[in-house]
């Protein structure tokens, strides 16, 4: 399975491809008991995430993008450890969205981040990524996007191409938003309620100092699929979601310096690492999200991003 699972930091910045921006997003995920493979032991998993995005319109063609993503995951990495571990991630977003014509636009974002247990901050906690996407507006209802994400991680260099599209039906009830292999969402909107399905793959590496005398890191790359129901308040500016889904719970521990050559999308090259913990099996999860969304008028330059 290691060769066919990818990791990626996915940004809410992609929502700017539509006629709205999710300014603030908060989520809480709970997994009751995720079992360790070949043991009778298991672990609960509690995860929090918050994302803030600020688009600042510089001109009719340029929008400055900035923001921050925060997340934490608390779980037992191994039954042999003496306590649970909390994995923290702080990611900054600084970039520029440019409109070249009525059809073509682009987004480029720099992504410095700190990812570790935050027990002792060192140079190993810092990594750097870039996100570049081009968008082609085929019609009022359909937009095509393609690009690249790349980052340095504790296991080596990761990169993946991005291919996706956004579609909103003429009656504005049926919506598809996909940036593969990262995410995909399909939903149907009623007046104040929506139902849908989404797929989400998010991965990071974390520097760990608290568990063992030997420095280690966590290669975290869960893949999640869920169904949800959403309620809109204040003219759909505040969205509340309840999700039920399944995650593969990949949280592998390796010794510092035990690296692969590089990872491209779902494929790892030169991966001869020795995993130091038992695999955590997939499990069902519950997730609750709250989103503050700003909608743009069609003549607003920001809506062209």
Please give, one letter per residue, the 3-state secondary structure of the chain: CHHHCCCCCCCHHHHHHCCEEEEEEEEEEEEEEEEECCCCCEEEEEEEEEEEEEEEECCCCEEEEEEEEEEEEEECCCCCCCCCEEEEEEEEEEEEEEECCCCEEEEEEEEEEEEECCCCCCHHHEEEEEEEEEEEECCCCEEEEEEEEEEEECCEEEEEEEEEEEEECCCCCEEEEEEECCEEEEEEECCCEEEEEEEEECCEEEEECCCCCCCEEEEECCEEEEEEEEEEECCCCEEEEEEEEEECCCEEEEECCCCCCEEECCEEECCCCCCCCCCECCEEEEEEEEEEEEECCCCCHHHHC
| Residues of the domain holding 169 | 2-304
pLDDT (0 to 100) of residue 211? 58
Task: Indicate whether 303 pLDDT > 80.
Answer: no
How would residue 201 be classed by pLDDT, with cut points 50, 70 and 90?
A: confident
Count of structural domains, the chain = 1
- 55-81 pLDDT per residue, tens: 999 999 999 999 999 999 999 999 988
Q: What is the CATH number of the domain that holds 10?
A: 2.40.160
- 242-281 pLDDT per residue, tens: 999 999 999 999 999 999 988 887 788 888 999 999 999 9
pLDDT (0 to 100) of residue 74? 97
Task: Indicate whether 130 pLDDT > 70.
Answer: yes
- 136-151 pLDDT per residue, tens: 999 989 999 999 999 9
How would residue 82 be classed by pLDDT, with cut points 50, 70 and 90?
A: confident
């Amino acid at each position: 399975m290691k060769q066919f699972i990818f990791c990626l930091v996915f940004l809410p910045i992609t929502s700017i491809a539509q006629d709205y921006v999710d300014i603030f997003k908060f989520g809480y995920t709970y997994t009751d008991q995720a079992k360790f493979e070949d043991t009778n032991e298991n672990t609960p998993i509690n995860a929090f995430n918050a994302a803030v995005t600020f688009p600042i319109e510089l001109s009719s063609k340029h929008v400055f993008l900035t923001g921050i993503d925060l997340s934490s995951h608390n779980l037992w990495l191994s039954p042999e450890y003496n306590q649970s571990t909390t994995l923290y991630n702080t990611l900054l977003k600084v970039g520029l969205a440019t409109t070249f014509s009525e059809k073509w636009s682009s987004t480029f974002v720099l992504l410095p981040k700190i990812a570790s247990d935050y027990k002792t901050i060192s140079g190993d906690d810092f990594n750097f990524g870039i996100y570049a996407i081009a968008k082609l507006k085929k019609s009022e209802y359909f937009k095509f996007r393609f690009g690249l994400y790349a980052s340095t991680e504790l296991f080596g260099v990761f990169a993946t191409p991005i291919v996706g599209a956004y579609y909103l039906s003429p009656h504005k009830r049926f919506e598809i938003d996909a940036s593969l292999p990262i995410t995909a969402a399909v939903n149907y909107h009623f007046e104040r309620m929506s139902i849908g399905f989404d797929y989400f793959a998010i991965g990071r590496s974390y520097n760990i100092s608290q568990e063992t005398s030997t420095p280690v890191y966590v290669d975290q790359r869960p893949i999640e699929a869920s169904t949800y129901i959403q309620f809109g308040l204040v003219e759909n500016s505040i969205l509340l979601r309840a999700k039920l889904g399944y995650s593969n719970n990949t949280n592998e521990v390796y010794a510092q310096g035990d690296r692969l050559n590089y990872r491209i999308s779902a494929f790892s090259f030169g991966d001869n690492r020795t995993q130091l913990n038992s695999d955590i099996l997939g499990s069902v999860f519950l997730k609750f999200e709250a989103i503050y969304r700003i909608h743009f008028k069609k003549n607003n330059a920001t809506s062209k991003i």
